[in-house]
Amino acid sequence: MAATRVITAAAAATQTTSCFLAKRTFLLPAKKSCGGFGGLCFNKRALVLKSKRPFSCSAIYNPQVKVKEEGQPESLDYRVFFLDGSGKKVSPWHDIPLTLGDGVFNFIVEIPKESKAKMEVATDEDFTPIKQDTKKGKLRYYPYNINWNYGLLPQTWEDPSQANSEVEGAFGDNDPVDVVEIGETQRKIGEVLKIKPLAALAMIDEGELDWKIVAISLDDPKAHLVNDVDDVEKHFPGTLTAIRDWFRDYKIPDGKPANRFGLGDKPANKDYALKIIHETNESWAKLVKRSVDAGDLSLF
């Protein structure tokens, strides 16, 4: 039997202007809207597509998101769907807003800390539910527990057609941007947290660029102490090195080579992390506007 639990997604007191694919046909007024993040502006009417799911420049505002589990955990058919207040399925990747303003972002938990089932948003399935990754028909697990909450930034995309000249010319991995949340609390699959970015690691996985944004949930007791990469070293000593080493080495027990890291094998600061978030949000906007080929990716 499917279980349903309610998770309130983080929301700002003011309207967010992150973008998503609307689930119904309508035409927005011709009005320029500028987000608090990066001064990102869009002409709303210009972005509406002539399709059953037109492009809109506002995401779910102050959503009461319900998480519905279908199937049994650690099975091939297990899915975690997201429902809006009316009970309709929505996409955690496309419909949850990215930015809440003032340097605060939404983060969706895929893998709780101290667990090892490799959960991820199914980017090629309708409504992009969270599922357990598979390889050759078998469920995937990390060889050991991950020590931090892990998940994605909604409304971001690492474009596989774009080479990053600052990171060895590596191309994006075709996924949303990953977040490593360093707070003390073990979260739940599908939980939506307000986080602030602190640093970025440029992981190169089999030639693909796979950014790891290091962040902390605003409700963590130490959140007020950390605002940039140096603060992490001060108040969470050894954590950045541990994160890098964990992601570098986790494939070795399966006989694969270690992953590598760009940017001198060091974490970049908060400003650089914000730059990455901004760039990948722009890439996502191009994706959902169909300005680039989506391939097998689901856009709703």
Q: How many CB atoms lie within 10 A of CB 196?
A: 20
- The structure tokens listed for 171 are 């191309």
Q: What is the pLDDT of residue 6?
A: 52
Which has the closest alpha carbon to 33: 13, 60, 57, 55? Answer: 57
Tens-digit pLDDT profile for residues 236-248: 999 999 999 999 9
- Cβ atoms of 130 and 118 closer than 8 Å: no
**Does residue 60 contact residue 84 with C-beta atoms inside 8 Å?**
yes
- The β-bridge relationship of strands 178-181 and 208-217 is parallel
Contact predicate 105/35, CB 8 Å: no
Q: Is pLDDT larger for residue 179 or for residue 64? A: 179
Q: Work out the mean pLDDT of the chain and round it to a whole number.
A: 85
pLDDT at residue 64 in the model:
75
**Which residues are catalytic, by number?**
142
What six digits make up the tokens of 161?
Answer: 């057609």
Which CATH class name applies to 66-289?
A: alpha beta
- Closest CA relative to residue 198, chosen from 178, 226, 161: 226
CA pair distance 233, 94, nearest whole angstrom:
33
Which residues 6+ apart lie within 8 Å of 93 measured at CB?
A: 121, 123, 128, 152, 154, 155, 176
Residue 39 CA to residue 35 CA, distance in Å, equals: 6
Is pLDDT at 276 greater than 80 in this prediction? yes
pTM for this predicted structure: 0.83
Q: Which of 7-21, 45-59, 133-147 is the least confident region? A: 45-59
Sequence ranges of the domains in the chain: 66-289
* 56-73 tens-digit pLDDT: 333 444 457 899 999 999
Alpha-carbon distance values, 24 to 19, 20, 56, 88, 266 (Å): 14, 12, 10, 12, 45
Stretch 189-199: mean pLDDT: 97
Residue 68 pLDDT: 97
* CA–CA separation, 247 and 146 (whole Å): 9
Instruction: Enter the tokens of residue 135.
Output: 């390889």
DSSP annotation string for 278-294: HHHHHHHHHHHTTSS--
**φ, ψ dihedrals at 272, nearest 5°:** -65, -40
Tokens of 119: 């959960």
Name the pairing type of β-strands 170-172 and 208-217.
parallel
Query: Per the structure block, which two tokens stand in for 128?
Result: 């992009």
